[in-house]
Chain A
Amino acid sequence: MRSALARRLIVFFGTVLAASVVIFFIIQALPGDVALTTLGMGASPEAVEALRERWGLDRPLIVRYFEWLLGLFHGDLGTSYLTGETVWSQIGPRLAVTGWLVGLSMPLSALVALPLGLVAAMLRRRLSGVLVNALSHIGLAIPVFVVGTVLTIIFAVKLGWLPANGYVPIGESVGEWARRLILPVTTIVIVQGCFLARYVRAGFIDVLTEDYYRTARAVGWRRWRGLWRHGLRNMSTSLVTVLGLQLAALLVGAILVEQVFVLRGLGSLLIQAVKAQDLMIVQGVSMLLVFAVLTVNFLVDLAYLAIDPRLRKAVPR
């Protein structure tokens, strides 16, 4: 057990280190130059050189890499060239926006998907089930930003019930915060709900073919009840896994919704930083995201290791 753990730890740190190399050198290889971009049409070769010197960009790449890596060990993601603020201080508020957006939408999506999936599975040979299934198919096919735009036009522009876009931190005004999150959250719930509903439907259909379900039916359990009981238990693990995967994807993937509703989350920070060539931010955010996903993978791995002793023998995944 201990050796397996140690081995996994070494592999984990090796992977993180490799990721830092990949991220740093890919990002530094991008064309363009923060000094030039900042000076804009006020640039001259001398001015660009002077600014590069001021920001320490004239030093060799490898030196800057190790400096950055050293910072990473201390949890320091670096400092923005443009504003001189730490990357962490820029991430904080963005993470709050994305966090609320994704954190509220995911459970709500699951809540919507469960009954929809159940109906679609149970009544799959009746019109209602077919309709639900067709709807989830269609919902999945429409680009999320189209859904968001349509909601904006209906509820903000035509009806005037809700603000069209923007964000107010929860600490400033809870009511305003909620009002501004309704449309974006609903947008994600519609699309994610359709996506999850199809998983749920497939899961329930799986259950329908299982022996224990047939047995339950044979002893006189009513269809819905059996399906709900057994199906849900059967579903929950795979649903949670899917939710987890989607959660990671949405941290950056929510950018489309953020764009429609002018919310400033992690994804838009990335795009902005690339446009301004503020590579420290690009590097920092990328590293943080990759580290987060790798850590989750690692922890899941450990969990399996704890549950299943057979895995303690080193086997490549």
Chain B
Amino acid sequence: MKRFTVAVGLICAGLVILAGLVSLVWTPFDPAQIGEQRYAPLGWPHLLGTDHLGMDTASRLMVGAQTTIFVGIIAVALAALIGVPFGIFVGMGHRITGEIVARASDILYALPALLLAILLAAARGASVTTATIAIGIATIPVFQRMARAATLTVMSQDYILAACVSGTPKWLIALRHVLPNIAPLLGVQAAASFSMAILAEAGLSYLGLSAPPTTPTWGRMLRDANLYAAPAQAVIPGVAIALAVLGFNLIGDGVRDYLDPRLREVR
């Protein structure tokens, strides 16, 4: 059963990645080419039809996959690269600095992600990059808290105490003992955050806070679609988003269950 879900997840995510990779070298049509026929039906030569400007939907969907992957990777990387070191740092117990980092994280946590996105879009112009950075920043506290909690658990282990007593520098302990131990947990969090980032970017696109008009991203395609003139043009990017999110969610779940022996036992 578990294998089946992970397989489904891998297939969904794999499709998205494959589409994005292929689009780097080949798409059926030029995704930015305004065509002759608007709202062409699904079929040949436009497999998924054309949109309100006569652009080929299949091509745009493929190029959009690049953005989706980009958003996920950058947002998660940003959040993890800043959140995890701070989390470990706080978790290893630095009194005053730890307190300051924790409070800063509190403020960041209290700022709604949407507010960050609005502000960044206002400052730098709405684009996929600003949306991704906003999502990434908003996810920092998630990683920070998770890393701190995991570090606290690791730090209470005897061998760490031994390392501390033997005078091993803290950064070395962090690198050699803490990080490897909390890595699997972070991996699970990364998969979950990856799909959250994709969903969040789609939402920001819908609000006009991400990709500018006519940019081939899934969220933007959804926003630009006319539900009444051509419902298919709204359904297609919607399904694509759902598949990507579902894929990474299932992978994350599968990995977590694999890591959590209690869950395996019942199965």
A232-275 near B? 1/0 per residue, CB < 8 Å: 00000000000000000101110110010000000100110010
Answer yes or no: A169 CB below 8 A from chain B CBs.
no
B110: A residues at CB distance < 8 A: 19, 289-290, 292-294, 297
Closest to A277 in B: B122
> In A134-149, which residues have CB < 8 Å from any B CB?
137-138, 140-146, 149
A32: B residues at CB distance < 8 A: 122
A29: B residues at CB distance < 8 A: 123
Contacting chain A: which of B53-61, B74-82, B97-105? B97-105
Contacting chain B: which of A51-59, A111-119, A202-210, A221-229? A202-210
User: Roughly how many angstroms separate A144 CA and B203 CA in the complex, as a whole number?
Assistant: 8
Answer yes or no: B30 CB below 8 A from chain A CBs.
no
Shortest distance in angstroms between B264's beta carbon and chain A's nearest beta carbon? 10
Q: Are B249 and A141 in contact (CB under 8 A)?
A: yes
Answer yes or no: A286 CB below 8 A from chain B CBs.
yes
Q: Are B107 and A22 in contact (CB under 8 A)?
A: yes
Q: Are B106 and A15 in contact (CB under 8 A)?
A: yes
Q: Are B245 and A252 in contact (CB under 8 A)?
A: no
User: Roughly how many angstroms separate A102 CA and B135 CA in the complex, as a whole number?
Assistant: 22
Answer yes or no: B161 CB below 8 A from chain A CBs.
no
Q: Are B222 and A252 in contact (CB under 8 A)?
A: no
Interface range for A: 35 or more
Answer yes or no: B93 CB below 8 A from chain A CBs.
yes
Given contacts A19-B107, A286-B111, contact A256 B238 (CB under 8 A): no
Answer yes or no: A11 CB below 8 A from chain B CBs.
yes
B107: A residues at CB distance < 8 A: 15, 18-19, 22, 290, 294
Answer yes or no: A26 CB below 8 A from chain B CBs.
yes
User: Roughly how many angstroms separate A153 CA and B98 CA in the complex, as a whole number?
Assistant: 51
User: Roughly how many angstroms separate A145 CA and B238 CA in the complex, as a whole number?
Assistant: 10
B249: A residues at CB distance < 8 A: 137, 140-141
User: Roughly how many angstroms separate A14 CA and B107 CA in the complex, as a whole number?
Assistant: 11
A19: B residues at CB distance < 8 A: 107, 110
B219: A residues at CB distance < 8 A: 143
Shortest distance in angstroms between B200's beta carbon and chain A's nearest beta carbon? 10
B1: A residues at CB distance < 8 A: 125, 130
Shortest distance in angstroms between A288's beta carbon and chain B's nearest beta carbon? 11
Answer yes or no: A31 CB below 8 A from chain B CBs.
yes
> In B208-242, which residues have CB < 8 Å from any A CB?
209, 219, 222, 227, 231, 234, 238, 241-242
Closest to A254 in B: B114
Answer yes or no: A311 CB below 8 A from chain B CBs.
no
Q: Are A274 and B114 in contact (CB under 8 A)?
A: no
Q: Are B206 and A143 in contact (CB under 8 A)?
A: yes
Answer yes or no: A317 CB below 8 A from chain B CBs.
yes
Q: Are B202 and A143 in contact (CB under 8 A)?
A: yes
Which of B115, B207, B222 counts the most A-chain CB atoms under 10 A from its CB? Answer: B115
Q: Are B265 and A209 in contact (CB under 8 A)?
A: yes
A249: B residues at CB distance < 8 A: 112
Answer yes or no: B172 CB below 8 A from chain A CBs.
no
Shortest distance in angstroms between A301's beta carbon and chain B's nearest beta carbon? 10
Answer yes or no: A159 CB below 8 A from chain B CBs.
no
Q: Are A294 and B119 in contact (CB under 8 A)?
A: no
B105-132 near A? 1/0 per residue, CB < 8 Å: 0110111111100110011000000000
Answer yes or no: B262 CB below 8 A from chain A CBs.
yes
Answer yes or no: A6 CB below 8 A from chain B CBs.
no
Closest to A294 in B: B110
A40: B residues at CB distance < 8 A: none
User: Roughly how many angstroms separate A14 CA and B103 CA in the complex, as a whole number?
Assistant: 9
B265: A residues at CB distance < 8 A: 209
Q: Are A149 and B234 in contact (CB under 8 A)?
A: yes
Q: Are B262 and A252 in contact (CB under 8 A)?
A: no
Given contacts A130-B1, A289-B110, A294-B110, contact A271 B207 (CB under 8 A): yes
Closest to A292 in B: B110
Which of B98, B110, B262 counts the most A-chain CB atoms under 10 A from its CB? Answer: B110
Q: Contacts A18-B104, A29-B123 known; list 16 others, CB within 8 Å.
A: A26-B119, A141-B241, A143-B203, A143-B241, A149-B227, A205-B263, A253-B113, A259-B206, A271-B207, A274-B118, A282-B119, A290-B107, A293-B109, A293-B110, A294-B106, A297-B106
Going nearest first, the 8 A-B pairs with the smallest beta carbon separation are A293-B110, A141-B245, A252-B112, A141-B246, A290-B110, A141-B242, A316-B98, A146-B238
**15 pairs across A/B with beta carbons < 8 Å?**
A14-B103, A15-B103, A18-B104, A29-B123, A141-B243, A142-B242, A143-B202, A149-B234, A209-B262, A252-B112, A255-B207, A286-B111, A289-B110, A289-B115, A293-B110
Q: Measuring CB to CB, which residues of chain B are less than 8 angstroms from any residue of chain A?
A: 1, 90, 93-95, 98-99, 102-104, 106-107, 109-115, 118-119, 122-123, 195, 199, 202-203, 206-207, 209, 219, 222, 227, 231, 234, 238, 241-243, 245-246, 249-250, 262-263, 265-266
